[in-house]
Structure 1
């Protein structure tokens, strides 16, 4: 657990670790929370940053579009040697998402995947419903009735991963309205607090950490 950590310093540290790690270096999992910051992915479009105001925007080398990190959000950075783990990037992403789904289930919440949109979503009308999402959503909007509760953005270099996944626990969600989250205009963002789950950051971080360790194991 890194606790509260500056984003740029953490980004630089995990990139340096990945670039310099020897083949026998054990995998690591860094779990932290960041002061307010918008982070932009490699393919991120400037027009998705609507009104950053006094919150800094940091260009990164991860995939994906713009997202927001801030207090009350658990951010997890698995530093995994995929070649040694024995699975490829697509399965790695699946395992990251599965760890988040199991974390939400621990707190009684049902998370959902949306095809082609990495991350985890919940039903706004009933986040505790076990019903699966059924087929295309009305009006062709894949996010209709959903809120995003976890974002995912990764980088793989020399078969090793960095960046990772963030889970919204109890945040000020207003900064998400200043961007098109992950490149989707109007996408609603929620946290556990918003949907009625009161949990301390430390507890959520510990649960997510345990699930990631379990699901990323070879």
Structure 2
């Protein structure tokens, strides 16, 4: 029997995977509590993998004109960035780590998360990349154009991180048309399903956790 990948990861971090949807507001409240507890030294760090019911979230730079059709609940997230969509078929990774014990480098932390997602997509044969001047994870869509397949949004309080990333496995892509995703309207949004790949949440989590040691190692080195 193949070992659970969580058993191979450091036990100083709680690695939590949800199989049921978690309402966004409940997750946000849990993150707020956990962030404070980590900062106080009363809780372990947390990597939390989950899925939300449909919701639009507003980052600190969200512009009202970019909320085109608020057909779902809109929640102020407190993270950096603009509007984004979360919903079924999208895997979320909330990363709550104490950077006081690692390189105190915000840019390096974001760069490491991007690399973690890019490497995991690569394990499914999907080439993905960062794009200069554009937040998120990008790939080649079925029509040959660049399209976003993952979003990044973080907040750091007392050097403890919150929020993290989302990756489109098989969401309803029409739900993204209610906003200008991350303020970028000249590029589309894609998913693994649109690219012809059927990847379950469990398969994604397993591949992501296999890449976790490399992700953590990057946090010990400041971004150049």
TM bucket, shorter chain: 0.7 to 0.9
Distance 1:206 1:93, change over 3 A: same
Partner of 1:47 in structure 2? 65
Residue-by-residue CA offset, 1:168-212 (whole Å, 9 max, x unaligned): 001111110111000112431000000111111211122223324
Distance 1:163 1:60, change over 3 A: same
Compute the displacement of 1:123 (Å).
Answer: 1.3
Q: Give structure 1 stretches of 5+ with no counterpart.
A: 128-144
Structure 1 residue 122 corresponds to structure 2 residue 139: yes
Partner of 1:176 in structure 2? 176
Q: Distance in 2 between matches of 1:105 and 1:12?
A: 33
Q: Distance in 2 between matches of 1:177 and 1:13?
A: 29
Cα-Cα RMSD: 1.6
Q: Distance in 1 between matches of 2:216 and 2:136?
A: 16
Asked if the contact 1:74–1:168 (Cα under 8 Å) also holds between the matched residues in 2, the reply is yes
Distance 1:213 1:12, change over 3 A: farther
Structure 1 residue 109 corresponds to structure 2 residue 126: yes
- Runs of 4+ aligned structure 1 residues displaced above 6 Å come to none
Q: TM-score, normalised by structure 1?
A: 0.86
Q: Distance in 2 between matches of 1:34 and 1:75?
A: 8
Partner of 2:36 in structure 1? 19
Compute the displacement of 1:125 (Å).
Answer: 4.9
Partner of 1:137 in structure 2? none
Residue-by-residue CA offset, 1:116-175 (whole Å, 9 max, x unaligned): 222110012588xxxxxxxxxxxxxxxxx2110000000000000000100100111111
Q: Distance in 2 between matches of 1:95 and 1:126?
A: 29
Partner of 2:9 in structure 1? none
Structure 1 residue 76 corresponds to structure 2 residue 99: no
Distance 1:178 1:80, change over 3 A: same
Q: Distance in 2 between matches of 1:15 and 1:29?
A: 14
Q: Give structure 2 stretches of 5+ with no counterpart.
A: 1-16
Q: Distance in 1 between matches of 2:67 and 2:210?
A: 33
Partner of 1:34 in structure 2? 52
Asked if the contact 1:114–1:121 (Cα under 8 Å) also holds between the matched residues in 2, the reply is yes
Residue aligned with 2:211, SS: helix
